[in-house]
Amino acid sequence: MRRRVVVTGLGVISSLGLDVKTFWSNILNGKSGISRVESFNTTDFDSKIAAEIKDFLPTDYLEKKEARRMDRFVQFAVVAAKQAFDNCKLRITEENAHRVGVLIGSGIGGIKTFEDQARTLMEKGPRRVSPFFIPMIIPDMASGQVSIFTGARGPNLAAVTACASSTHAIGEALRIIQYGDADLMIAGGAEATITGLAMAGFSSAGALSKQNDHPEKASRPFDAKRDGFVMGEGAGIVVLEELQHALARGAKIYGEVTGYGLSGDAYHITSPHPEGIGAMKAMQMAVKDAGWEPEQVDYINAHGTSTIQNDLLETKAIKLLFKDHASQLAVSSTKSMTGHLLGAAGGVEAIICLLALKQGIIPATTNYEYPDPDCDLDYVPNEPRRKAILRVLSNSFGFGGHNASLAFAKYE
């Protein structure tokens, strides 16, 4: 019998709050974290908006010297991981350190540091490039630094699968515990890509919304007037723990991770499969892995990016798997409020799913005003819905055809 895995700690850094309580309150109140970008001059940019975190001071949480040696995405990861680990109330000792691991994903890593140091190279020469340049930009450094700060000496890995990174990270952490290689894993994702180069790149690809006049309305998943995603930043970290280990120490349990599915589209570097087959297979695998029948799923936290293709093809994928039950499912995209945190999206959305299960309330898809006849599911428009739910899926899909889905169940 495989080991059961539950979630005993949550930590989040986002434009909707620098702690879980504030974040969740703003999600339920339908507040938008999207506004005009202030960290650089967007005059020449087609898209001038993002879910930018404007009140995060790393020195509020880290020593100044430590903070200077971390890219912003690593700062987010360390602070969110500290929250989650404090929340789970486990103390790491010499006896248990090798049974606690870390697996944190990031789609891009330290792009702000990369931009800054490239400018230094061009303007001041190679001797002025920071000796910390490489350890600040590599995506695995979030896992590395969290391990250092917590003392976790168990399995230590990183997931880099674009916008599916943190969903894969949580899924692979689940497997590590199920296989018996750790009793507890700190898992999730972190991203900090609101920079000139990153936004220029996504904009050139036609991926970003240009609804600059009303930033809070720009991310409109499944809506007929959607025109692209809005970039976000932050981190979502959870603590996964083997059930008996959690019960033995009286830990608070937020929910159970019951299944994990993953697939590849084998289709295109940026576009999802036109029939949604890869997305469907990831959900199908997660449902099967959880031991559920498709009609038992109550809610899906959709990838729902607010791009024309993603929302249409995710809708197709849901219909393909769930058939008649698709019309009974609640499906919402909280990216309408958080923006799209790229590699950190799945970590933040896992926390949303767990709190929805715990409290019996489904968060809304905000900015849903103009129905798209090709997107015709129940997207929980504009207002959260109080409903007892037992089983949920969380979807993440990334450039390169990476698809991942997690199954969470209410713990009873």
Active site positions, annotated: 163, 303, 340
Enumerate residues 6+ apart whose C-beta is below 8 A from 62.
70, 75, 78, 79
Query: How far, in Å, CA of 267 to CA of 281, rounded?
Result: 14
- Dihedral sign (CA 327, 330, 336, 342): negative
Query: What residue spans of 179-307 are helical by DSSP H?
Result: 196-204, 215-218, 243-248, 277-290
Rounded CA-CA distance 231/235 in Å is: 13
Give CA torsion, residues 370, 372, 377, 379, to 10 deg: -30
| Cβ-contact 249, 227 below 8 angstroms | no
Structure tokens at 388: 């007892």
Which helix (H) or strand (E) segment holds residue 337: the answer is: helix 335-338
Rounded-to-integer distance, Cα 14 and Cα 194, Å? 13
Residues making up the chain, counted from first to last: 412
